[in-house]
Amino acid sequence: MLTIYAIPPSLYCAKLRIVLRHKRLEWRELPPPGGYGSAAYKEIVPSGNLPAMVDDDLLLADGEAIAEYLEERHPQPSLLPQDPAARAKMRERGRFHDTRLEPALRALFGSIEPHNRDTDLNVRQSALLSEKLGQLARMLEAGPELSFGLGDCGYPISFAWMDALTPPLSLAITWPDTVVAYRARLEAEPAVAAELAAYRPILHGWVERTAGSAA
């Protein structure tokens, strides 16, 4: 059985679980031994990154590399189109999430605790996140239309984080209609719905404890 090293509130671990659920794979989930960033974990996973996966004698520690491996190892149900151009567009969508949208969200993590709250940062990142959602809307509108795939899996989790951080950080994020419709399509996917049902309470509990207010 696959082993995944993960911690409950991790965004990229939740993204990976959407892939695992969609492919109806069985996995066991372990916390990093000794805690996140520990020497004991780095003895298993040299980079110390989460998520990491062990499949027989293969160790992988990057969410995207793991997802691509699972796609090749367990091609059905597929999470990549057949056509090379459509596959590239799906990967482009995933890279936009990982390298553009999520970093704009992650920049807020240091501002969650009340004593570290940075109102200017929250305003700047609200504008940046709105800009990224606008770019995503234009990418979606330009097409092509793609069935649910690898490049979609990060978005529902980042969207849930934006919801959770909006009240405590007083974020003002503009959600284009195209992104609202895209989000609804993603959340109707059974693997996404199942992951969000499990993940949202964990996320909101973590934000509530860290922010010290209702989230």
Ligand X SMILES: N[C@@H](CCC(=O)N[C@@H](CS)C(=O)NCC(=O)O)C(=O)O
Report in angstroms how near the CB of residue 58 gets to ligand X at its nearest. Answer: 16
Residues 137 and 180 sit within 8 Å (Cβ to Cβ): no
CA distances to 56, 142, 174, 207 from 212, in Å = 42, 41, 25, 8
Query: Applying CB under 6 A, does 94 fall inside the site for ligand X?
Result: no
C-alpha 49: how far from chain center: 15
Task: Verify binding: residue 126, ligand X, rule CB under 6 A.
Answer: no
CA-to-CA dists, residue 184 to 85, 118, 139, 187, 193, angstroms: 25, 31, 17, 5, 10
Binding of ligand X by 98 (CB under 6 A): yes
Smallest gap from Cβ 37 to ligand X, in A, equals 7
CB of 55 to ligand X, least distance (A): 16
Residue 62 found at the interface with ligand X (CB under 6 A)? yes
For the chain, give the longest Cα–Cα distance. Answer: 50
Report which of 153, 171, 184, 154 is spatially closest to residue 215, judged by C-alpha positions.
Answer: 171
Q: By CB under 6 A, name the one of 64, 152, 189, 195 that touches ligand X.
A: 64
Helix (H, G, I), strand (E, B) or coil at 57: coil
63 near ligand X, judged by CB under 6 A: yes
Q: Where are the alpha helices (DSSP H) in 23-174?
A: 39-44, 63-73, 84-96, 102-106, 119-142, 155-169
The smaller minimum CB distance to ligand X, of residues 64 and 189, is found at: 64
Q: Is 158 in the site for ligand X (CB under 6 A)?
A: no
Site for ligand X in 25-54 (CB under 6 A): 48-50
Among residues 2, 4, 10, 203, the one that binds ligand X under rule CB under 6 A: 10
With contacts defined by CB under 6 A, name the span among 60-68, 126-134, 158-166, 172-180 that binds ligand X.
60-68
Q: How far is the CB of 101 from ligand X (least distance, A)?
A: 12
Could you tell me how many residues of this chain bind ligand X (CB under 6 A)?
9
d(CA 1, CA 54): 9
- Closest distance to ligand X from the beta carbon of 65 (Å): 8
Residues near ligand X (CB under 6 A): 10, 12, 48-50, 62-64, 98
